[in-house]
């Protein structure tokens, strides 16, 4: 029998079997990427606000630095992070190498430039007079920044979704700092790579289908959201 | 009268460009002051300084006798509110827009709810609370912007061209609200305007500003009579002309404003006078139609400016006339730069200033 057809068949059996080991991998992929995105947003958003709202020398340089970093090959970053987390590295004593924490931190670093760039662009697209509007209505400087961030919310959300997308789909960082330990640090991409090498195409294809579904799903949501403009209105209602 | 704000030898430059030059002006408690000046004369910049949003490069600003410094500026901003020339809405509901400043002031929810609904009814937008602000028409947005500032009941209210892009109905609502706020809340109001008619009826005083310099300050009647010549030469004011008036046998007046343009007015005057025709009172057509309008002139379109739902045209009939029509009629009439058109207005629409 054709190993590819066999693989596809096995893949669908797995997907519909509800196998806990299989879905454990799916869960880890989503969870690690989710935490990584949240971390990156936590430190990336304030940085984007500084770049987007302040005028300073070297601003273009900083912006092009983050833009360039988006294209960083994931294996190269994975290697750098491996060196940082390894026993002899600066964070070696923490013993994070090959733990979920290492993957989450590593992927957070990976998606940070992407989130910063998109968020900065979104903030810069807001009418700068909006800051004066918030101020004249009585906002302090920090409240003014928050008002601008709210106006940029569409772009900010988009940036975070793009970051999540990249984290879920990348292999280099997860493999090099996570090690792909089965049941502990393996995720969709590391398992696709592992099972393909082992010749277990059924599992590899099953994981790939799930990964594609996630990525397509995310993009579908973005598209629908743009269409329905559901991201355009937000904020508390008076009641 | 007590001065609410005092500007002493105030100047403002952006890099090398001086935008405001040695301005000394007192804004008195409870008054409505109109800043009348042409494009680029510095009206917006001056309002922003009065709103404590822009820092002067020279001179002094005092608010109720207290000099404005970097330390007290955030505190002072709570005492003044500016409505901007270009209407900006937060991308949220009308309610949240109007409530914004009250929330910044940490007002209790129940108070906010009450005040917002009062402010909205003042600008005739009752029941608009839950509408998305960005989906409102330009006129409605401008009224939300006004409500958003009024609801704060600040001592000082700064309005930058509050009716410039509004149709007469919306403009009337806005002017009414301005007068009410001044009368009932004793709000001190500074309005930057191009609109001669508005400058004549609303304010207690007018300051003429040109090239960053305030050339005249006075009561409207004073400014309009004493300075009528100066005013007419003032580029800010559309459709204002100086001419020689002669009364006719049937009791009207013919004003020769030069270049072969003779305008019929109902007011009985003779000698050198200034007249003003509101752009809204002028009817535009592609052919000479018979109507009751006593003044009909043929000319060409020399400029087209779109603003909101309106289109502002300049028609040269020997003298330039500003005419306002809706975007819809503009496209239906198929007009272009250079198009030959007729303008018409009634003799009673000619105001002697
Ligand atoms: N941030 C800025 N940087 C540089 N120049 C500025 C800035 N703001 C205003 N100017 C300049 O200052 C001058 C006065 O501008 P301002 O907006 O105060 O005029 P205005 O009287 O409000 O004009 P308009 O009737 O067109 O609104 C203009 O020449 C403008 O180009
Ligand atoms: Mg202006």
Q: Tell me the domains of chain A and their CATH numbers.
A: 26-187 (1.10.3720.10)
* Chain B CA closest to residue A128: B88
The confidence score (pLDDT) of residue A224 equals 85
CA of B4 from ligand 2 middle (Å) equals 23
Whole-angstrom CA distances from B126 to A89, B137, B152, B168, B183 are 65, 15, 18, 20, 22
B37 found inside a domain: yes
B284 found inside a domain: yes
Residues B299, B211 share a domain: no
Q: Kindly tell me the sign of the dihedral angle through the C-alpha atoms of B40, B46, B48, B54.
A: positive
Do residues B70 and B90 make contact, with C-beta atoms less than 8 angstroms apart? no
Whole-angstrom CA distances from A177 to A35, A36, A118, A174, A180 are 16, 14, 26, 6, 9
Mean pLDDT for chain A overall? 90
Structure tokens at A52: 């987007």
Q: Answer whether B96 contacts ligand 1 (Cβ < 6 A).
A: no
B244 found inside a domain: no
The confidence score (pLDDT) of residue B225 equals 64
- The mean pLDDT value for B61-73 works out to 93
State the smallest CA–CA distance between residue B31 and chain A in angstroms.
Answer: 20
Q: What is the DSSP string of A16-57?
A: HHT-HHHHHHHHHHHHHHHHHHHHHHHHHHHHHHHHHH---T
Q: pLDDT tens for residues A82-104?
A: 999 999 999 999 999 999 999 99
Which ligand sits closest to the CA of A129? 1
Query: Does position B233 have pLDDT exceeding 70, yes or no?
Result: no
Q: Answer whether B85 contacts ligand 1 (Cβ < 6 A).
A: yes
- Higher-scoring residue by pLDDT: B334, B48: B48
- Chain B residues lying within 8 Å of A149, measured CB to CB: none
The confidence score (pLDDT) of residue A183 equals 92
The confidence score (pLDDT) of residue A233 equals 45
- The mean pLDDT value for A47-68 works out to 94
Do residues B185 and B153 make contact, with C-beta atoms less than 8 angstroms apart? yes
Domain stop point among B161, B190, B225: B225
Q: Answer whether B18 contacts ligand 1 (Cβ < 6 A).
A: no
The confidence score (pLDDT) of residue A234 equals 44
Report the percent of chain A where pLDDT is more than 90.
77
Q: Which of B88, B89, B152, B190 to mutate to test the interface with A (most CBs of A within 10 A)?
A: B88
For residue B316, the enclosing domain spans 278-346
Residues B290, B194 share a domain: no
Domain stop point among B156, B190, B225: B225
State the smallest CA–CA distance between residue B312 and chain A in angstroms.
Answer: 25
The confidence score (pLDDT) of residue B229 equals 54
The confidence score (pLDDT) of residue B200 equals 63
Residues B190, B314 share a domain: no
Pairing of strands B262-265, B253-256: antiparallel
Residues B307, B206 share a domain: no
| Pairs of CB atoms within 8 A across A/B | 76
Residues B294, B156 share a domain: no
Q: Residue B92: which of A133, A138, A233 has the nearest Cβ?
A: A233
Ranked by mean pLDDT, the top range of A74-78, A215-219, B202-206 is A74-78
The confidence score (pLDDT) of residue A230 equals 52
Q: pLDDT tens for residues B120-140?
A: 999 999 999 999 999 999 889
- The mean pLDDT value for B161-177 works out to 85
Domain stop point among B156, B191, B225: B225
The confidence score (pLDDT) of residue A14 equals 83
Tell if the CB–CB gap between A137 and B48 is shorter than 8 Å: no
ipTM of this predicted complex?
Answer: 0.81
Residues B173, B107 share a domain: yes
DSSP bridge pairs for B246: B254
- The mean pLDDT value for B283-288 works out to 89
Q: pLDDT tens for residues B234-259?
A: 545 678 888 899 988 888 899 999 88
Contacts 24+ apart (CB under 8 A), A126-134: A126/A151, A126/A152, A127/A151, A127/B88, A129/B84, A129/B86, A129/B88, A130/B88, A130/B90, A131/A53, A132/B48, A132/B51, A132/B53, A132/B82, A132/B84, A133/B84, A133/B88, A133/B90, A134/B100
Mean pLDDT for chain B overall? 89
The number of domains in chain B is 2
Ligand 1 atom nearest the C-alpha of B14 is: 4
Structure tokens at A224: 């629908």
The confidence score (pLDDT) of residue B227 equals 55
State the smallest CA–CA distance between residue B101 and chain A in angstroms.
Answer: 5
* Number of neighbouring beta carbons within 10 Å of residue B2: 9
Q: Answer whether B39 contacts ligand 1 (Cβ < 6 A).
A: yes
Q: pLDDT tens for residues A11-33?
A: 888 888 888 988 999 999 999 99
The confidence score (pLDDT) of residue B268 equals 84
Tell if the CB–CB gap between B78 and A139 is shorter than 8 Å: no
Residues B158, B288 share a domain: no
The confidence score (pLDDT) of residue B7 equals 95
CA nearest A40: which of A102, A106, A123, A95?
A106
B259 found inside a domain: no
Q: Residue B74: which of A140, A150, A153 has the nearest Cβ?
A: A140
CA of B16 from ligand 1 middle (Å) equals 13
Residues B216, B340 share a domain: no
Query: Does position A238 have pLDDT exceeding 70, yes or no?
Result: no
B288 found inside a domain: yes
Confidence of residue B230 (pLDDT cuts 50, 70, 90): low
Closest C-alpha residue for ligand 1 atom 26: B39
Ranked by mean pLDDT, the top range of A197-211, A216-230, B114-128, B219-233 is B114-128
Query: Does position B64 have pLDDT exceeding 80, yes or no?
Result: yes
The number of helices, as runs of H, and strands, as runs of E, in chain A is 11, 0
Query: Does position B231 have pLDDT exceeding 70, yes or no?
Result: no
Q: Residue B152: which of A138, A143, A150 has the nearest Cβ?
A: A138
Q: Residue B90: which of A138, A151, A236 has the nearest Cβ?
A: A151
Tell if the CB–CB gap between B93 and A132 is shorter than 8 Å: no
B256 found inside a domain: no
Report the percent of chain A where pLDDT is more than 70.
95
Ligand 1 atom nearest the C-alpha of B48 is: 18
What CATH number has the domain bearing residue B328?
Answer: 2.40.50.100
Report the percent of chain B where pLDDT is more than 90.
57
Confidence of residue A7 (pLDDT cuts 50, 70, 90): confident
Q: Which of these ranges, B16-25, B128-137, B144-153, B305-314, has the smallest mean pLDDT?
A: B305-314
Do residues B209 and B37 make contact, with C-beta atoms less than 8 angstroms apart? yes
Residues B300, B189 share a domain: no
Residues B221, B290 share a domain: no
B352 found inside a domain: no
Residues B164, B64 share a domain: yes
Tell if the CB–CB gap between A137 and B113 is shorter than 8 Å: no
Whole-angstrom CA distances from B141 to A239, B90, B153 are 23, 11, 19
Tell if the CB–CB gap between A138 and B132 is shorter than 8 Å: no
Query: Does position A165 have pLDDT exceeding 80, yes or no?
Result: yes
Q: Residues of A at the B interface (Cβ-Cβ below 8 Å)?
A: 127, 129-130, 132-141, 143, 147, 150-151, 153, 232-238
Residues B212, B130 share a domain: yes
B162 found inside a domain: yes
Q: Residues of B at the A interface (Cβ-Cβ below 8 Å)?
A: 48, 51, 53, 74, 77-78, 80-82, 84, 86, 88, 90-93, 95-96, 99-101, 104-105, 112-113, 116, 129-130, 132, 134, 148-149, 152
Structure tokens at B180: 């009410």
Do residues B60 and B8 make contact, with C-beta atoms less than 8 angstroms apart? yes
> Distance (Å, rounded) from C-alpha B267 to C-alpha A118?
64
């Amino acid at each position: 029998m054709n190993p590819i057809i066999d693989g596809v068949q096995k893949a669908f059996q797995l997907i519909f079997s509800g196998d806990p080991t299989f879905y454990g991998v799916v869960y880890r992929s989503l969870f690690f990427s989710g935490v990584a995105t949240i971390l990156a947003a936590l430190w990336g958003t304030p940085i984007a606000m500084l770049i987007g709202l302040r005028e300073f020398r070297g601003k273009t340089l900083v912006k092009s630095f983050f833009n360039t970093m988006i294209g960083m090959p994931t294996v190269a970053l994975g290697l750098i992070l491996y060196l940082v987390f390894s026993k002899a590295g600066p964070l070696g004593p923490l013993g994070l190498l090959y733990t979920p924490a290492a993957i989450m931190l590593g992927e957070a670093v990976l998606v940070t430039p992407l989130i910063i760039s998109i968020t900065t662009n979104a903030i810069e697209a807001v009418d700068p007079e909006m800051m004066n509007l918030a101020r004249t209505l009585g906002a302090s400087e920090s409240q003014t920044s928050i008002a601008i961030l709210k106006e940029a919310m569409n772009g900010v959300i988009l940036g975070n979704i793009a970051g999540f997308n990249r984290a879920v789909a990348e292999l280099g960082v997860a493999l090099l700092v996570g090690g792909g330990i089965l049941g502990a640090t393996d995720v969709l991409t590391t398992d696709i790579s592992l099972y393909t090498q082992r010749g277990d195409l059924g599992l590899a294809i099953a994981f790939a289908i799930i990964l594609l579904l996630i990525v397509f799903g995310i993009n579908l949501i973005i598209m629908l959201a743009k269409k329905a403009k559901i991201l355009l209105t937000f904020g508390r209602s008076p009641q | 009268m007590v001065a609410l704000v005092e500007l002493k030898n105030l100047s403002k430059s952006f890099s090398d460009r001086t935008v405001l030059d040695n301005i000394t002006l007192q804004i008195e408690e409870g008054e409505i002051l109109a800043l009348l000046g042409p494009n680029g004369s510095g009206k917006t910049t001056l309002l922003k300084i009065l709103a404590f949003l822009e820092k002067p490069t020279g001179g002094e600003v005092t608010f109720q006798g207290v000099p404005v410094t970097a330390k007290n500026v955030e505190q002072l901003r709570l005492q003044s509110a500016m409505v901007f020339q270009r209407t900006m809405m937060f991308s949220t509901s009308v309610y949240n827009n109007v409530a914004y400043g009250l929330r910044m002031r940490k007002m209790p929810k129940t108070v906010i709810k009450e005040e917002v609904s009062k402010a909205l009814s003042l600008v005739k937008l009752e029941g608009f609370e839950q509408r998305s602000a960005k989906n409102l028409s330009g006129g409605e947005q401008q009224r939300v912007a006004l409500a958003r500032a009024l609801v704060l009941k600040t001592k000082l209210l700064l309005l930058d061209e509050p009716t410039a892009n509004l149709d007469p109905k919306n403009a009337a609502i806005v002017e009414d609200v301005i007068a009410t706020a001044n009368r009932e809340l004793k709000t001190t109001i500074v309005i930057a305007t191009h609109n001669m008619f508005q400058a004549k009826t609303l304010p207690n005083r007018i300051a003429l500003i040109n090239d960053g310099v305030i050339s005249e300050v006075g009561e409207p009647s004073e400014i309009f009579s004493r300075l009528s010549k100066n005013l007419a030469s003032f580029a800010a004011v559309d459709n204002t002309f100086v001419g020689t008036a002669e009364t006719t046998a049937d009791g009207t007046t013919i004003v020769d404003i030069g270049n072969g343009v003779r305008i019929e007015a109902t007011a009985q005057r003779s000698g050198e006078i200034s007249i003003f025709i509101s752009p809204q009172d002028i009817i535009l057509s592609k052919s000479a139609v018979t109507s009751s309008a006593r003044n009909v002139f043929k000319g060409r379109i020399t400029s087209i400016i779109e603003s909101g739902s309106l289109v502002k045209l300049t028609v040269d009939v020997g003298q330039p006339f500003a005419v306002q029509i809706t975007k819809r009629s503009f496209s239906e009439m198929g007009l272009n730069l250079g198009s030959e058109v007729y303008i018409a207005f009634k003799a009673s629409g000619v105001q002697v200033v």
